[in-house]
Structure 1
Amino acid sequence: MKVIPFKIPVSQAESVIVNEDILPFFYGHMHRHKEMQLSLILKGEGTLIVGNYTQSFKPGDFYIIGANQPHILKSDTSYYNSALPGGVHAIHIFFEHEHTLSNLINLPEMEFVKRFLDKTCQGLQVPEEYAPEATKIFMKVSRSSGLKRLLSFIKLIQYFSRNLTDYKSLSTGFASAPFPEAEDSRMNEVYQYTMKHYAENITLERIASVVHITPQAFCKYFKKHTCKTYNAFLNEIRINEACKRIINGESTCISSIAYATGFNSAINFNKVFKKTTGKSPSEYIREYKREWKRAIKMIKQPA
């Protein structure tokens, strides 16, 4: 399976495209498109992969994904099992600034837009302290059309460019050229296999065999394209899944969660959890509950 070149449905009358997903689960394939993408998660949980970056997503999360960045919002397994209508809900804004909006963005008055887009081309997550105001403007963009939509979109970018000084990057911080198509396919095989088998003992020999190269060659290949080791990536996937299990109350025993997500001991699990999230499991639970209350409050606010 390769990274799918995805075609955004484009209206001839609109430069800024809005799509709303109300589905049983999110689109389940690694894909990319020429447009930059702003996404607001209103309902649903799972794992976000953008290029070589992985983290869990939840309601209230607000992302900017760069043009041609391979990405996937992979819903939790429970959404695929239940397949309930309206199980997930997100709104996406797409814009193609290098050609469609280039004449506007290259105007001297729009320099702030150009600087912001250049700075965020590798993707970012909007911090929670900026999300309420950004969401109000975002919803105005999604609910308008024509010139009103374009002006609201410019207002949203203006808000970001003036206020967004601290954010979480959706990359390693290293700029890199897009993968050739063959590399897209190979990296996607690694991602998909890891997502399916993370709870098992995935040795370097095993994962290297997925893409038909030696373990030594795989280590160099993965590090070259992600700026991290495969073991670090695997631990990120496992910790993301552990976070979801803890929050969903699937077990009251940390040890059982540790073993269920591929760790060989609770001690190792706690060590990796702290290193990955910066918090202990109990600290993570408390912070998540606070963020959840803020997210619900934000979503209920009128645009």
Structure 2
Amino acid sequence: MKAIECRLPQEIDKSFIVFQERGTYFPYPWHYHPEYELVLITKSTGRRMVGDHIGYFDEEDLVFMGPALPHVWVNDEKYANGNGDTEAEAIVIQFVEGFLGDFFLNIPELEPLKKMLQRSKRGMAISGKAREQINCLMKKMLHQNGLQRLSSLFAIFDILSTCREYELLANPNYQQTVQASNCSDRFSKITDHIMRNFSSDIPLHEIAAVGNMSITAFCNFFKQHHKMTFTEYLNVVRVGHACKLLGEKDHNVVGIAYDCGYNSLANFNRQFKKIKNMTPSEYRKTLSI
């Protein structure tokens, strides 16, 4: 079974990803990515595969995985068929090793965390009190921004550093079969173009050409690896930048809308509320400005 590289959208004003997956079932296939990842299941049941390990997941299941470790969460049939009592839900945290700088992990205080990150290359199912504490923090992070969210991540790092309640999942002899390809390079070119030009119109033929693909091939590639369309991803990037600008007093909402690439305030408000579940003005109030 060949793993594909998948990416979650990262807001432009955030140094790491906190993402809530919600739907009839979890859509990601057998996949990998370059980030460390914490996955908390809040609703749904089923089987999870991490490397060569197959286990069962239930609500509150928590797994920590290192980069490039193939994995998949397969919902029970009732969810896949749309017959579950609730939607399938999960909270995901992703971060790259150097997200706080190249030398961050080399400071003496983080030596225990470095050892835990090394263990995560096999995948770790966290249990006991550590799981309860981390799960509580992850749920709060969905409603936090800025320094609060970063502080919660550091609290999680502290718990992971001293955690003894875990099960290593993949066999120590498990050989990762992920092969280097031009996929990551293509991701980098496409993402860089989006980040440099999101405040302007980016037509499909232009972004497809960046990836050296036809429009149809690009749309299929993007949807397969991001589980959302290019337009949906672009709106996530734009709204993330808007959140940054809303934290600055000298920007009004109308100006922010145009600075983020929207040609109308109505469309900006609609997309912002769809992604943040509140209007830009309501979001600004949460920042206590």
**Is the TM value for this pair above 0.5?**
yes
Higher mean C-alpha deviation, range 93-102 or range 145-154:
93-102
Q: Aligned-pair distance for 1:42?
A: 0.8
Aligned to 1:53: 53
Q: Is the 8 A contact 2:60 2:135 kept in 1?
A: no
Structure 1 segment 214-233 matched on structure 2, within 5 A: none
Q: Is the 8 A contact 2:62 2:131 kept in 1?
A: yes
1: CA distance, partners of 2:120 / 2:38: 11
Q: Is the 8 A contact 2:32 2:70 kept in 1?
A: yes
Aligned-partner SS, 1:143: coil
1: CA distance, partners of 2:33 / 2:178: 13
Q: Aligned-pair distance for 1:149?
A: 1.4
Aligned-partner SS, 2:21: strand
Q: Is the 8 A contact 2:52 2:174 kept in 1?
A: no
Aligned to 1:180: 179
Aligned to 1:36: 36
Q: Aligned-pair distance for 1:147?
A: 2.3
Where does the alignment leave 5 or more consecutive residues of structure 1 unmatched?
A: 183-303
> Could you tell me the percent identity over the aligned residues?
25
2: CA distance, partners of 1:142 / 1:113: 23
- Aligned partner letter, 2:115: R
Structure 1 segment 116-195 matched on structure 2, within 5 A: 116-162=116-162, 164-174=163-173, 176-180=175-179
Aligned-partner SS, 1:120: helix
2: CA distance, partners of 1:6 / 1:85: 28
1: CA distance, partners of 2:95 / 2:144: 15
The alpha-carbon distance between structure 1 residues 104 and 181, as it changes in their structure 2 partners (threshold 3 A), is closer
Deviations 1:70-104 (A, max 9, x none): 11101112212226795201111111114665432
Aligned to 1:8: 8
Aligned-partner SS, 2:140: helix
Where does the alignment leave 5 or more consecutive residues of structure 2 unmatched?
A: 182-289
The alpha-carbon distance between structure 1 residues 37 and 11, as it changes in their structure 2 partners (threshold 3 A), is same
2: CA distance, partners of 1:176 / 1:99: 27
- Aligned partner letter, 2:26: F
2: CA distance, partners of 1:19 / 1:114: 24
2: CA distance, partners of 1:153 / 1:73: 23
1: CA distance, partners of 2:138 / 2:84: 27
1: CA distance, partners of 2:14 / 2:109: 21
- Aligned partner letter, 2:37: Q
Q: How many residues align?
A: 181
Q: Is the 8 A contact 1:65 1:124 kept in 2?
A: yes
Aligned to 1:109: 109
Q: Is the 8 A contact 1:26 1:73 kept in 2?
A: yes
1:22 aligns with 2:15: no
Q: Is the 8 A contact 1:22 1:87 kept in 2?
A: yes
2: CA distance, partners of 1:171 / 1:108: 29
2: CA distance, partners of 1:9 / 1:85: 28
2: CA distance, partners of 1:65 / 1:177: 13
2: CA distance, partners of 1:125 / 1:92: 14
The alpha-carbon distance between structure 1 residues 44 and 144, as it changes in their structure 2 partners (threshold 3 A), is same
The alpha-carbon distance between structure 1 residues 102 and 116, as it changes in their structure 2 partners (threshold 3 A), is farther
Q: Aligned-pair distance for 1:69?
A: 0.8
Q: Is the 8 A contact 1:22 1:85 kept in 2?
A: no
The alpha-carbon distance between structure 1 residues 119 and 60, as it changes in their structure 2 partners (threshold 3 A), is same
2: CA distance, partners of 1:85 / 1:147: 36
Deviations 1:199-218 (A, max 9, x none): xxxxxxxxxxxxxxxxxxxx
Deviations 1:145-199 (A, max 9, x none): 222212210111111212x1231112113364543379xxxxxxxxxxxxxxxxx
Q: Is the 8 A contact 1:25 1:83 kept in 2?
A: no
Higher mean C-alpha deviation, range 39-48 or range 10-19:
10-19
The alpha-carbon distance between structure 1 residues 4 and 85, as it changes in their structure 2 partners (threshold 3 A), is farther
Aligned-partner SS, 2:34: coil
Question: TM (normalized to structure 2)?
Answer: 0.57
- Aligned partner letter, 2:164: T
Shift >6 Å, 4+ stretches: none
